[in-house]
Structure formats: structure tokens, C-alpha cells
Amino acid sequence: MAKTTIADLSKMMADIDFATMSTTAVTGGITSRPMSNNRDVEFQGDAYFFAYESSAKIAEIERDAGTSLSYAGSKGLLAGTPIFITVKGHSTLIRNKADFAAHWAKELDRWFPQGIDTPGVILIKVHAANIRYWIGEEQGELTF
């Protein structure tokens, strides 16, 4: 059976628009929410998400950068092979508009009506330290 590479996983992650992002809540528990990666996943497993700086997740990341992402999808016709990918990593908060522009997708205007100039917008970069995956019968783990 072929071994899945980080390039393969990055493409699969990009093809699954929504991930569940989990962070450590102020109360100490785990909290999760759906986030769109806007198909912006890079070769080394970095995923990018836009948010409002005033949201609870930003305060949580500032306290504890540990972040996990869960993706579920399929490849092939008529649902096809199930795909599950989990990412354990850390988040970096980016406030630079040039970086916003590099990762902006027009579809984001729905949530951020002034584009990269929307007041309070922030970019979350999740850098993978570990990725586990299940693709049909294949499973594996990559560590960075």
C-alpha cells in the first residue's frame, strides 16, 4: 500500500473546507468550533484561518498556543473512501495586512465585509507538529 505523504495530506486538507478547531478554554477544558480554512493549506501542513480578534479563540490561543484540527471527508465518486485527518500543533496570530492579502479568498467577504481592512480581523496560522490520518484502510502518522 502506498505511503501517504505530507503533500498528499495537505491537498486532502485543502479539499475539506471546514475543520473543527480545538483550543484550551479559559476554564481549562477543551473547546471546539468549526472553521473554514478557505482551502489554504500549505505543503508543510500549515493551515490558515481568519477570525475576529475579539473572539474567545484568540484569547485562548494567546494563553495557550496548543491547537488541534480535525478534518473529515471523502475522495472519489459517490462519497468514496472516507478520510479523517487530525492535526496537533501550535497557533501563531498574525496581524500583518500583507500576510492577510497572501491568504485572502473572496469568499471571506461574507464574514469580513471590508476584506483585509475589516476592523479587528486577525489571521490564525496553525503549524502542524503531528498529523494522524485514516484514509480508507490506510492509517499513519507524520511528525515534524
Note the pTM of the prediction, 2 decimals: 0.90
The predicted-structure confidence for 98-131, as pLDDT tens digits, reads as follows: 999 999 999 899 999 999 999 999 999 999 999 9
**69: closest CA among 20, 124, 131, 17?**
20
Alpha-helical segments (H) within the chain: 6-15, 56-63, 97-103
Over the chain, what is the mean pLDDT? 91
The Cα-based distances of 102 to 48, 56, 94, 127 in angstroms read 11, 25, 12, 17
C-alpha torsion angle, residues 103, 99, 119, 116 (rounded to 10): -50
8 A C-beta contact, residue 63 and residue 102: no
The predicted-structure confidence for 72-102, as pLDDT tens digits, reads as follows: 988 765 567 899 999 999 999 999 999 999 9
Identify the H or E element spanning 124. strand 121-135
| Exposed/middle/buried for residue 107 (C-beta within 10 Å: 0-12, 13-18, 19+) | exposed
Domains in the chain with CATH codes? 6-143 (2.30.110.10)
